[in-house]
Amino acid sequence: MTDAESRLRQSMHAAAPGPTEVTYLVDAAWERAARVRRRRLAGVTSAVVAVLVLAGFWLSSTGRQSSLPATTHSPGPGGSACDAPGDRASFDSFVIAGDRFSSVTLCPSDLRAPAWAGLPKQRTVADSELLRKISLATYSRPNLLCDAAVQDPPFRLVLEEGSANTRSYVDSTSLDCYGRTALAGFFDALAVAQAGPVTSWSGPCGPDDIVGREQDGPQATDQLRPGDAITRAHLCVYGLPATGPTEPVGADDAPRYHPVVSADLPAKDLPALTAALDGQYIDPAEAPACQAPPYLVRVRLTLSSGRRDELASRCDHLYTMGIAGPPLQLPPVITALIEAAAHQAWATDTP
């Protein structure tokens, strides 16, 4: 072992946490496994119900043009939660919403403010995994990084505790950074919740993936194998800016709600995507100009060998996928599709 290796080893061992109590991990793992099982069961059940409903609908309306309804969501307690928020919440200085609350509802003080543009009517997140994306930290001290946030439109989060069946609220003014952190997490969670449950590998871009993707087991690698061709690619884009993929994201900008864009890549683009992914490994030290976009792109791939794999737009993932040619960036075919999807999505949403 060289001197550098010894130093690295020594630093890592010194930085590692000391002995800790770990028995809680057992229960946590069991609970999580049970949640995944319940979710899968619910997914199968809803798929069966959806098929039956659609079959009934089709049978009862022969001759009429039918179309799949948009992803449905339970009405949720949005309105009533904002109207009857309960008492002011009391929690420690920092809490992950999913660890304590069963739902979080966003109540803007003035819905006409531009910051709330595009916000869906359903503004409650109740999925336990998605709730883990929402960090609630109470305001502790003046934060110079958050000066701009003073101008953000105020809002209230109504929190429900499932076990006690109680409701309480916290105002953005009492949250750290005037609620920006909590709001960013809430928007991310809400967007995924709105995308609907994933019922198949090439289906919607909803919450199933945050629990654990179904791949070919731990043996699967992220490398496209020689001779493997992509036969289907489903695209999911998270956090796409409203004005298009090239919009710069400023550090002082308040979080905005961005719905998830979900689409199949056109079949004619699949050979080009296969070619783009069939590159050699690039050392990031040799090609430092990784240009992953500020939004997150995920493409679920079905391969000719029957394998399934996934491409995501983080720089480190691009490296492991072996996308060639500095500067490292998304293959143009994906960028073009994102732009097309963005235009389509925003043209549809904008009155």
Partner 1 sequence: VTTIDGAQPLFQGVTVSERQPTRPRREGTREASFEGYVVARGADLLRTAYMLTGDYQRAEDLVQTALAKVWPRWQRLVDGGDLPHAYVRRVLVTSYIAWWRRRWGGEVPTAELPELVVPDPMLGVEEREVLFAALGRLPRGQRAVVVLRYFDDLTEAQTALVLGCSVGTVKSQCSRALTALRASPLLREGGVT
The nearest distance, CB 67 to partner 1, in angstroms, is 30
Question: Looking at 12-20, 57-65, 101-109, 330-338, which segment touches partner 1 (CB under 8 A)?
Answer: 12-20
Nearer to partner 1, 85 or 197 (CB): 197
Task: Report the 10 Å Cβ neighbour count for 151.
Answer: 10
Q: Contact with partner 1 (CB under 8 A): which of 45, 71, 80, 143?
A: 143
Q: Which residues contact 193 (CB under 8 A, 6 or more apart)?
A: 73, 125, 126, 127, 130, 206, 207
Q: Alpha-carbon Rg of the chain, whole angstroms?
A: 23
Question: Looking at 13-21, 64-72, 82-90, 336-344, which segment touches partner 1 (CB under 8 A)?
Answer: 13-21
d(CA 274, CA 303): 9
The DSSP bridge partners found for residue 234 are: 264, 300
Nearer to partner 1, 64 or 141 (CB): 141
- If one asks whether residue 280 binds partner 1 (CB under 8 A), the answer comes out as no
The phi, psi pair for 224, rounded to 5°, reads -75, 125
Nearer to partner 1, 230 or 323 (CB): 323
Nearer to partner 1, 144 or 347 (CB): 144
Q: What is the DSSP string of 13-40?
A: HHHS------THHHHHHHHHHHHHHHHH
Residues of this chain, 310-339, that bind partner 1 according to CB under 8 A: 310, 312, 314-317, 319-320
The DSSP bridge partners found for residue 262 are: 236
- If one asks whether residue 33 binds partner 1 (CB under 8 A), the answer comes out as yes
The nearest distance, CB 135 to partner 1, in angstroms, is 7
Q: Contact with partner 1 (CB under 8 A): which of 50, 79, 209, 308?
A: 209
User: Which residue spans within the chain are E strands per DSSP?
Assistant: 87-88, 94-96, 103-108, 124-125, 135-137, 155-161, 166-171, 230-238, 261-264, 296-303, 308-312
Q: Which two tokens stand for residue 248?
A: 């710069």
Between 332-349 and 270-277, two packed helices, what is the crossing angle to 10 degrees? 130
- If one asks whether residue 206 binds partner 1 (CB under 8 A), the answer comes out as no
Nearer to partner 1, 20 or 62 (CB): 20
Q: Number of residues in contact with partner 1, rule: CB under 8 A?
A: 73
Nearer to partner 1, 169 or 238 (CB): 238
The nearest distance, CB 272 to partner 1, in angstroms, is 23
Q: Contact with partner 1 (CB under 8 A): which of 59, 68, 150, 285?
A: 285
Residues of this chain, 250-269, that bind partner 1 according to CB under 8 A: 251
The nearest distance, CB 98 to partner 1, in angstroms, is 10
- If one asks whether residue 20 binds partner 1 (CB under 8 A), the answer comes out as yes
d(CA 255, CA 251): 10
Give the angle 130-183-118 at the CA atoms, nearest 5°.
90
Residues of this chain, 100-139, that bind partner 1 according to CB under 8 A: 132-135, 137
Question: Looking at 47-55, 175-183, 227-235, 338-346, which segment touches partner 1 (CB under 8 A)?
Answer: 175-183
